[in-house]
Amino acid sequence: MFYINNNVYERTSNSTCKVIGYILSENTTAIPASELSECKYLKQVNSEVTIPEKVEFEGSTYTVTEIGLKAFENSSNLSKISIPETVVNIGSNAFRNCTNLTVVNIPKSVTSINKNTFYGCSSLSSIDIPDTITYIGECAFFNCNNLTGLTLPPKLQSLGSYAFKSCSSMKSLALPSGITSLGVKTFADCTSLTDIQLPDSLTAIGENVFESCRSLAEITLPARLTSIGHYAFWGCISLKSISIPNTITSIGDSAFSGCKSLSAINLPNSLTEMGSNVFTGCKQLSLNKGLLLYANGTKCYGYVGDYKNITEITVPEGVIYINENAFKGCTNLEHVYLPSSLTAIGSGAFSMCNKLTDIKLPDSLMDFNPRKIPFALKYERIKELNQFAVKGYLDKLKKEPGCKYLKQTRCGHACCEISLVFQKTTLWKGLYKISDLADKVEEIKAVAANYEQLDTEATKLV
């Protein structure tokens, strides 16, 4: 380790070296700039720093090829830094939290911007990224909230998660054609972003990518896109319409939740999987009489739009599955008409539907598990539900290993009474009071006399 003109260097070979920090004067011990904040008797780095191409020390000449890990981290006085063309690598966190940095050049000899390189450089308003850059790492420009001028190089192939998160002044950006996927929260909280151009090469939008991009009113999704991740457009309150390409097969949980201006969206036939709460809070959205269908009309996401005032729902024929939480919160819903094609209802599909009293479950329904509590209310309010639950769930219980006796008793005040007894241990405790058990059968204790007890005990059931 040696220092020249206040820069601290470390040999990397007989002819090369890297900058690893900065010192106040030749009378101080050489330490990285990232540690200066802990040394109260030392001043921070000068406002302008020039890194030379070559340095001489003890009769040898060294070419400066790197800026080391955390070399200038937390150097709050640094406003300008000049980097020579000999530098081929800038280490992670090299300029992290250099809050007054306004001017920096990245030479063409550098091919990547590593993790956290400019994290928290809140005064950086523009930066020229050379065409040689192929990779921008995780959190590289995180919280650069004054960054407005930015052009991404054409050879860029990868953007790390959080790369531009909280760049709240950035208004527009075009992604080059080499990008195939966007990671977690890449542009989250870019609250001024109004225009972003996605390349045709893009096949996946990851989780929370555009979360809280409050100014984004429209976006064109590329034709090769196959998936939209969880919370991808959560809180994009200005987003009015979006066209989803025929290549999309999955949309994650809460992908468009909180997009209160969204009034138009198409769901292609290619879509086979959709998470829960995808369109929660999209009060302007209403399709197919309020129902959102996908997978060629075989799956029902739920009711969208002003769902709180709806009193009656008819799920059309052809639907085989109702999503989890599909009608959650329809507090005025009283009547539900289900198709004969229906085979499964997701967990919590009718939770918080406190006025629901009229729903007939079709004989085709095979997947109905009391443990999942798809209604999450007092079952005695619902007509014809008790009888179905015994019929539809009994066959499943018989398949449990070790079952010796299986007895159905009278229907209870909520869903059903089912006894499942095993040779040595009772794995199914039952939902309600059990009576009239066969000889030599261990008694199964009564649980859940009302909904509150049912809710507590449900998690214990097998």
What distance in Å separates the CA atoms of residue 49 and residue 84, rounded to the nearest whole number? 12
What distance in Å separates the CA atoms of residue 429 and residue 444, rounded to the nearest whole number? 6
Among 178, 143, 183, which residue's Cα sits nearest to residue 161? 183
The answer to whether the beta carbons of residues 349 and 323 sit under 8 Å apart is yes
Among 100, 60, 97, 94, which residue's Cα sits nearest to residue 77? 100
End-to-end CA distance of the chain: 64
H or E segment at 451?
helix 451-457
Distances (CA, A) of 245 to 270, 272, 403: 9, 13, 50
What integer pLDDT is reported at residue 287 of this predicted model? 63
Strand-strand pairing, 241-243 and 218-220:
parallel
**Weakly modelled stretches of the chain, pLDDT under 50:** 26-30, 36-43, 370-373, 376-462
What distance in Å separates the CA atoms of residue 25 and residue 22, rounded to the nearest whole number? 9
What integer pLDDT is reported at residue 440 of this predicted model? 26
The answer to whether the beta carbons of residues 323 and 346 sit under 8 Å apart is yes
Contacts of 19 (CB under 8 A, 6+ apart): 7, 8, 9, 51, 64, 66, 67, 68, 71
Type of residue numbered 242? I
Residue pLDDT, tens place only, 150-161: 899 999 999 999
What distance in Å separates the CA atoms of residue 26 and residue 367, rounded to the nearest whole number? 77
The answer to whether the beta carbons of residues 375 and 350 sit under 8 Å apart is yes
What distance in Å separates the CA atoms of residue 10 and residue 128, rounded to the nearest whole number? 28
Type of residue numbered 375? F
Residue pLDDT, tens place only, 380-395: 444 444 444 444 444 4
Phi and psi torsions of 276, nearest 5°: -90, 155
What integer pLDDT is reported at residue 4 of this predicted model? 86
The answer to whether the beta carbons of residues 277 and 262 sit under 8 Å apart is no
What integer pLDDT is reported at residue 367 of this predicted model? 57
- Could you give the count of Cα atoms lying within 13 Å of 405 in the half-sphere of its Cβ? 18
What integer pLDDT is reported at residue 24 of this predicted model? 58
What integer pLDDT is reported at residue 301 of this predicted model? 87
Contacts of 80 (CB under 8 A, 6+ apart): 47, 48, 49, 101, 102, 103, 104
Render 289-358 in DSSP notation, one character per residue.
TTEEEETTTTEEEEE-SSGGG--EEEPPTT--EE-TTTTTT-TT--EEE--TT--EE-TTTTTT-TT--E
